[in-house]
Every structure is written in structure tokens, then in C-alpha cells.
Amino acid sequence: MPFFSRFPRFLLLTAAVLPAWAAGLDDPFATDAMAPLKPSPQLAARVGEAPCATALPATALSALDAVDLALCNHPQTREVWAAARVQAALVGVARAGWLPNLDASASSTRFALENNAYTRNAAAALTLSWLLYDFGLRSANVDNAQRLLDAAAATQDATVQGLFLAALQGYYAAQAAQAAVVSAGEAERAARRSFAAADARYQVGAATPADRLQAQTALSQATLNRIRAEGEARNALGTLANALGFAAGQPLALAELPPPPAGGVFQKEVDALIAEAQARRPDLKAAEAQLRAAEASVDIARAQGRPTLSLATGPSWQESAGVVTQGGSVGLTLNVPIFSGFDTTYRVRSAAAQVDVRVAQRDRLRNQVALDVWKAYQSLSTATQSLTTADDLVASATQSERVALGRYQAGVGTVLDLLTAQSALASARLQRIQAQLDWNVFRAVLAQAVGALDYTLLQGAAEGRP
């Protein structure tokens, strides 16, 4: 009778049904729920679940739209999310050590005898093995994997905030470049009015040829500045389109930025912001989780050199020369490592030294966090004061240019005074644009330094809140 026809029925059922049952449990340890959410649009301050943005909105592109597109389309967000899911699966691997293993084996051997006869030997066995006690090795493995998952999640958060800031910087730079085009256009129109006035006075003999040439030179310079500003604006839009995942030539229409809040910007003192950053910064959380994982690695190294106690049991079946025997076994195995060439000793020393490395890295990062917050706070404070001063500068320069133009047209002022006033106005407008750019960027930089850069920042700006 063929070998497999005499294979015990329960072995056949186990070998056929158990793998199919196990395959049906796609995620028995629910590791998918342990992994962080996919970056954007499911970030903090988002309400509900929305599909990831892949196309430009029908309306003008806002800062929030730009961040959505950047986070959805940037490969680095997919990379850190995949890395977090890898670590979540490794938590499942560590937890699997607590469950028993079930193995099936079968063999069939045919022997040729001298009289051209044949004999067959066959055997089959089903073995259940279970590690009962290991002096904390499995617990340390689970703890290590969980801490590394925490580090991966925090690293994802830090990466997302970095990309968030980069998207905002690109968006605000494009806004500033477009504003510079408008400013250059206004300066060109002012220079054209000056040239028209100088030419009119020259035609009637009230101005010298030098006045007309100076006005012509100023107009040519203003036209050149406008052409350069338009080129820089196109480059800025191409850079932004690339950051959002589109071709550099993709047309982009940017929404108008909301005005900065008129009231105070800072809700907390810098010391409070530093304390908040040390509690919230995701890269610092990642460093802390890496430290905890290193401490668990010390426990793993120590437990690997300790005894283990295992249970093994299962039925067996054997046929030899037509004689069939069935049986079973159950037993306990105690494995006691006696000497491993000091392997365990040096593994423990290496793991302990790695803990010292992680402690130093965490402390260095904590100091850097405090410096980041301090510098961002001071930069934003300076930008806020500069924004107010730039508004005053533009207002006074505008009035000065009007007076100078009126005086020149009335014949009581010089063309040099007029051109100087127009140059000062053009410079004031550019400084106002730079102050606006600095304020928007450093506001986001401070939020990122604190570890609080999310959609709340943009929603508050859209509603006129600081």
C-alpha cells in the first residue's frame, strides 16, 4: 500500500488545515494598528479622513494645499512610513516568540535487496514545541522592538515636520518672488513717470539734457530689475511645483496670503517654549526611544547566556518492512549554557556601551533643541519688529516720492531728488516683502523647533490668529 495512503488522518488534516488557518490570520498581533498613520492628510488638526492630494486644487493654491501636495507626493514620506511599518511587523516577530511552534515531518525510503526485491521504510511525525521559560529573553525582545517602533514613529513625525517646513518655505518664497515682480513693476511705472516729466521739461527748455538722461537711465534700470524679478519668480514657481511633485513648468496660481495678525505673536516666554520643545520634539522622542531600546538590548544580551526550558510533544508514525508502529512523545528540555568563549560577556559589554552612546546622543540633541528654539524665537521677534518698521518705511518713502515728483513737476526740485526718492521707495517695498517672508518663515521655523508644526499653524493664519 502506498505510503501516504497509510498516513494517519489527523496528520493529514493538521498538515492541510493548520497552514491555511494560519495564513488566514493576516495580522494576528494587530501590528498595523501599532504603526503611525500615513503622513497627510491625517495629521494633527485634520478633521476626518480625506484622500491624499495628487492634483492641484481648482482654486488658487494656498499654503495648506501646498503642504498637502508635498507630503502626499514626496518619496521621503513614503519611505519613513514604510520604515515604521517594518518596525511594527518586527514587534509581531518578537511577540511570536511567546507562542508554540508546530512542525510536521515525513519521509519515505525505498531499499533494493540482492534478490531484486524491494523494501520500504516510512516515517511521519507531528511535533509541538513550546519555550516555557527563558529568563526574560522574549520580554526583552518585545520591549526592544516596541521601543524601536516608538523611535520609527517619532522619526516619521520629525521627517514630516521637516518636509512641512520645506514646503512652506518654498511656498512663501514663491509668494515673495511674485510680490517682488509687483514691486518692480510699480518702480518701473514710477521711473516712467519721472522720465515723462523730465522729457516734458526738457522739451520746453526747463530741464537740461543731463536730467533727461538720468531719468532714462533710471527707467532702463527699473525695467531691467522688473525683467530679473520676473525670471526669479518663474524659477521660484518651478521650484515649488517640483517640491509638490509636478513638472517645473506646471502653471501655479497662488492664493493671496492673509495679513499678519495686528496683535502680539508670542503666547509664551522663551523658557516655556524650550520646556515645551523638550517635551514635544519628535527627534528628541526618537532619541529617547532609541535609548530605551538600547537598554532592552542589554537585557537581551544577558538573557541569551541563561538557561531555557522547553516543552516538546507530538504523535509519530513509522513503517519498516511492513510493520507499522504508532506512538507519541512528551518531554521537557533544559538547555544550560556553560561556556561560550566569553561571547555573552562581550555582548553585554557592547550593549552597555551602546546605552552610553544613546545617552550622549540624547543629551546632545536636548541641548540642540534649546538652541533651535532660542534662535527661532529671536529670529521671529526680529522679523516681527522688522515687519512693523518696514510698514512705516514704505509709508514714509511713498510720501517722500510723491512730494519729490510734485516738486520736480513744479520746477522747484531736482531730478536727482526725485530719482533718489523713487530708489528709496523701491528699496522700502523690497524690504517690506523680505520682512513678510521672514515673518512667515520664522513663524513656521519656531513651530517646528518647538515640535508643534502642523495644520493648526496654517488654519490659525487663515483666520487671522497668531
**Residue-wise pLDDT tens digits, 49-97:** 556 777 888 899 999 889 888 888 888 888 999 999 999 999 999 999 9
The amino acid sitting at 99 is L
Q: Which domain holds residue 264?
A: 60-100+134-307+344-462
Distance between CA atoms of residues 228 and 223, nearest Å = 9
Please determine, for residue 46, whether its predicted confidence score (pLDDT) is greater than 80.
no
Q: Which three cell numbers stand for residue 295?
A: 537598554
Beta carbons of 61 and 165 less than 8 angstroms apart: no
In a domain, 169, yes or no: yes
In a domain, 396, yes or no: yes
Could you read off the pLDDT of 384-443 as tens digits, one per residue? 999 989 999 999 999 999 999 999 988 888 999 999 999 999 999 999 999 999 999 999
In a domain, 328, yes or no: no
- pLDDT (0 to 100) of residue 55: 84
In a domain, 43, yes or no: no
Q: How far apart are the first and last CA of the chain?
A: 86
Put residue 30 in one of left, alpha, beta given phi > 0 → left and psi -120 to 50 → alpha: left
In this structure, what DSSP letter does residue 61 have? B
Count the neighbouring beta carbons within 10 Å of the beta carbon of residue 18.
Answer: 13
- pLDDT (0 to 100) of residue 109: 83
Q: What is the mean pLDDT of the chain?
A: 86
Please determine, for residue 448, whether its predicted confidence score (pLDDT) is greater than 80.
yes
Domain with residue 93: its CATH number is 1.20.1600.10
Percentage of the chain lying above the pLDDT 70 cut: 87
In a domain, 78, yes or no: yes
Count the neighbouring beta carbons within 10 Å of the beta carbon of residue 201.
Answer: 19
- Residue of 369, 460, 361 whose CA lies nearest to 158: 369
Distance between CA atoms of residues 457 and 114, nearest Å = 89
Per the structure, the count of domains in the chain is 1
- pLDDT (0 to 100) of residue 43: 54
Q: Band of the pLDDT at 29, cuts 50, 70, 90? A: confident
Distance between CA atoms of residues 94 and 112, nearest Å = 48
In a domain, 212, yes or no: yes
- pLDDT (0 to 100) of residue 21: 52
In a domain, 122, yes or no: no
In a domain, 319, yes or no: no
- pLDDT (0 to 100) of residue 460: 52
Question: Helices in 35-136 by DSSP H: which ranges?
Answer: 63-73, 75-96
Q: Can you tell me which residue has the cell 521637516?
A: 162
The secondary structure of 398-443 as a DSSP string is HHHHHHHHHHHHHTSS-HHHHHHHHHHHHHHHHHHHHHHHHHHHHH
Please determine, for residue 6, whether its predicted confidence score (pLDDT) is greater than 80.
no
Please determine, for residue 254, whether its predicted confidence score (pLDDT) is greater than 90.
yes
Please determine, for residue 463, whether its predicted confidence score (pLDDT) is greater than 60.
no
Please tell me the pTM assigned to this model. 0.82
